[in-house]
Structure 1
């Protein structure tokens, strides 16, 4: 059996040109407490863009195989691991105990095989495909924790979602609709708007053509300080940057701004007057846990939700998939099949 494998490798921080597919990456060696997973599908997240570019204060051991999300079959099991055997279908929780995220602090899913702590394994129902499973952890897990676990969205709420066409955004659209909310999806093109309508969004706003905050106020009324009229109940904002202050302006009194990231900038212009004047709630949500992923797998298995997958690419074209995410040219998830 070959002791090498094909993998996408980041050699140094910088641009996507620093990623390359190699055919002679050493296959992971089995260690106590671990299994080796034969990767059947892996997916990119915007986090992978940050990993490639380098993040202040986070030292990534290079070279590294990116890819936080992965699903596959168990290939080999350490002697001290029980409950798993070769051939088992599994989804992998990217959070490796005591280490951090796979695809960042240790090799991830953009390879034919991956070394996984046995505690990261989640049994994959037969009715859930590898591609569906690989789309879930970071994007859908983050959305599930933010909307469902934290109990922030209820039936009848008006929910405005920025960046609605990306991985986390589409997950928020799907889950908010399942919770019975009225969903307003903010996107950057008419094509993406049509796709969000097909996914279930009630309204779409093209932020390249009109101010989403002004549109919201014209549609639902100006938020009132002494009553609960006007505005929306929830704004989901994981972009930050210039979108932060407009998000505060269109929230109704007592409304909630949900934040789980800052893809457009983590140090936005703030206006605390809106926070106190309209008694706004700013709710942060970080990451996801095993129960989020198990709940999502069950929803997919039951046919209650279907992850939106933009396209599947072979490993040789993986860097192209990450470029599409960086340039916001995707609808949902990009899956790589080694």
Structure 2
């Protein structure tokens, strides 16, 4: 099969579009002809190598996939060749408790085919496109759990979202608006800020020109004068972390589900205790999140924000655009291998 492959960890030049042996099916597995694979910053971490996580080499990135069943392994029941499916990236071995994930510790979906456990398959309705479905698990699933299950965002909340122009950010914006919240969305260019406003953001901040903490004080007042936001969403970390703590109102909460700009930032404990804020972590998604998101997309209550559709042979350049943050929403790789 054709795939985007890396034989060693490193910079983007380790990625190559080439032939690689299609993995054999084991009992309980299915081979999926990938129709769409959306990109996530997790793919960059996989390519670079992550401390404590052993990625098999050669490796194939790509956590999010939608496609058609191309072949079924022994003992797989309830599915047929040609079925349209969304893949839950996570594979749990209920007997051993072992956790694995495609595009991470298992070969991913920057490829014509991906092999997954039958338990990872979710039926894909005919009226939900492969491209829309592929956006859901990592970004939208994570945002759904972070904003609703963990974050309890609701009507009247003022929500500041940092890094709002990416996959998790745009989905967090859409979900917050659906919940009746006021959204202040931060991005690094005026163009991205305008697109966030077009998506429904009530206010936008170009953080390359405006300090978010100063903007917060000017717009809402100081901490002891009732200022700040009910919810601050920060999944970037790095040098944004300490500044974002200054934007939380008394009794407010910080939501985080990642650290794309650095996982060990300096912090400022004074604001944590003074504001009596809650810091709530959210790790991934559950199947119920994906089921609800599929329902929302099918009902057109939610329309995933797609930056571009890129054919598999151009997948390395798509990965580069994501790493360099030259995108808005989700970049999706498409493929058309036979079933």
TM-score by length of structure 2 reads: 0.95
> Quick one: which of 67, 71, 91 aligns to 2:66?
71
Residue matched to 1:255: 252
Question: Would you say the 8 A contact 1:222–1:250 is kept in 2?
Answer: no
Q: 1:268 aligns with which of 262, 265, 268?
A: 265
Aligned pairs for 1:284-303 (under 5 A) are 284-303=281-300
Pair 316,133 (structure 1): closer, same or farther in 2 beyond 3 Å: same
Q: 1 CA distance for matches of 2:47 and 2:73?
A: 32
Alignment equivalent of 1:53, drawn from 48, 66, 69: 48
Displacement after TM superposition at 1:222 (Å): 1.3
SS at match of 2:32: strand
Secondary structure in structure 2 of the residue aligned to 1:91: strand
SS at match of 1:55: coil
1:15 aligns with 2:11: yes
| Residue pair 1:239, 1:264 contacting (<8 A) in 2 also | yes
CA contact 2:53–2:105 (8 Å) conserved in 1 = no
Q: Take 1:125 and 1:151, find their aligned partners in 2: how far apart are those partners?
A: 29
The 1:258–1:151 alpha-carbon spacing in structure 2 relative to 1, beyond 3 Å, is closer
1: CA distance, partners of 2:213 / 2:299: 36
1:99 and 1:147 map into 2 onto residues whose CA distance is 24
Name the residue aligned to 1:96: 91
The aligned residue for residue 239 of structure 1 is 236
Matched, 1:320 2:317: yes
Q: Tell me if 1:332 matches 2:329.
A: yes
Q: Distance in 1 between matches of 2:110 and 2:320?
A: 15
Deviations 1:295-331 (A, max 9, x none): 1111000110100000010111111111111111110
| 1:137 shift after superposition | 0.7
Q: Secondary structure at the match of 2:223?
A: coil
Instruction: State the Cα distance separating 1:218 from its structure 2 match.
Output: 0.8
Q: Distance in 2 between matches of 1:99 and 1:39?
A: 22
Match of 2:132 in 1: 132
Contact 2:22 2:113 in 1 (8 A): yes
Q: Per-residue CA shift, 1:266-323, capped at 9, x if unaligned?
A: 1111111111111100000001111111111110001101000000101111111111
Tell me the CA shift for residue 152 of structure 1: 2.1
Q: CA deviation at 1:151?
A: 4.6
How far is 1:78 from its partner?
2.2
Q: TM-score normalized by structure 1?
A: 0.96
Quote the Cα distance in structure 2 between the aligned partners of 1:238 and 1:124.
29
Equivalent residues of 1:149, 1:292 under 8 A apart: no
Aligned to 1:6: 2
In the alignment, is the contact (CA less than 8 A) between 1:239 and 1:261 conserved in 2? yes
Structure 2 portions without partners, runs of 5+: 93-97
What is the aligned partner in structure 2 of residue 199 from structure 1? Answer: 199
Query: Counterparts in 2 of 1:167-246, with a 5 A limit?
Result: 167-224=167-224, 229-246=226-243
Deviations 1:128-160 (A, max 9, x none): 100000011100010001011225211110000
Q: How many residues align?
A: 330
Q: Residue in 2 aligned with 1:279?
A: 276
